[in-house]
Amino acid sequence: MAYNTGSPMPPPPPYINLADQGGNNPMDLHPPSSRNLPRYHSGRKKGNECCKCVCWFCCFIFIIILAIAGFFVYLYVIYKPQIPSYSLSSFSVGAFDFRPAELTLNTKIFVSVRAENPNEMIGINYGEGSSIVIAYQNATLSSGELPIFYQGHKNVTVMQIVLEGSHPYGPGLQKAIEESSKSGSVPLDVYVKVPFSLKLDELDLHEVTVNIHCALVVDSISPKKKPNIVSAKYDVDAEF
């Protein structure tokens, strides 16, 4: 049984330095309230900003595409663009000479090409790079170019074109042409390349190239006799 001797016990110190007590952990040198704890920041705000940027960009692209589509719809409704038509109206031969010593064929052919612009509010600018080629069984006979000019609204223009050529030929070409001429049916292939741009008032649109293949049949290809066009079939392809 313990008895109080009457001498009071000294109060405990308010703070004990653990280093004096033999502690080796440096984290124990300061009270827990003074420790620096790491802070973790959420990346939600940064991710939301990226999503907003992507959404705004997509909306901007969509508006641009919608505006362009609306512009072309407006042009189509107001101007009603139509592709011009072309046809071969006349065909004549100025020279068609076989030269056996040189195995070359010299030709000079005159053709008239009829170009019709059916548009009421659109003009046509014919530019450089056009060509017209006449061939017989894949052998080129003559070639030339279309003139550079401007064709107005609802206009029909007949172009007089001179085609010339000097090409080597094989032994069977002369005989085949002579036999076709005797039968009154000479099949020819006419290839026409027409680059042009549509003109809306003062605005020039993108250039378009029309490729035309005409399967032409004439009754003669001799310069001594005016050929008559027996038939002509057209195949048209446009490159935008």
CATH (domain of 234): 2.60.40
Domain extent, residue 129, equals 85-239
Task: Answer yes or no: is 191 within a domain.
Answer: yes
Considering the domain boundaries, does residue 18 fall inside one? Answer: no
Query: Which pLDDT belongs to residue 200?
Result: 85
Any domain includes 36: no
Buried b / exposed e along 127-149 (16+ C-beta atoms within 10 A): eeebebbbbbeebbbbbbebeee
Q: How many structural domains is the chain composed of?
A: 1
Residue 172 lies in a domain: yes
Q: Tell me which DSSP letter residue 128 carries.
A: S
Tokens describing residue 148: 């550079």
Q: What is the pLDDT along the chain (240 residues), one digit of tens a residue?
A: 444 555 556 665 555 554 455 555 555 555 555 555 555 555 555 567 788 888 888 998 999 999 989 887 887 888 888 888 999 999 999 999 999 888 999 999 999 999 999 999 999 999 999 999 999 999 999 999 999 999 999 999 999 999 999 999 987 999 999 999 999 999 999 999 999 998 988 788 889 999 999 999 999 999 988 999 999 999 999 887
In a domain, 122, yes or no: yes
In-domain check, residue 189: yes
Looking at the domain assignment, is residue 182 inside a domain? yes
Which has the closest alpha carbon to 188: 115, 88, 112, 68? 88
Q: Which residues neighbour 173 within 8 Å (Cβ) at sequence distance 6 or greater?
A: 105, 136, 137, 139
Q: Is residue 32 part of a domain?
A: no
Surface-to-core class of residue 217, CB atoms within 10 Å of its CB (0-12 exposed, 13-18 middle, 19+ buried): middle
Predicted TM-score of the model (pTM): 0.70
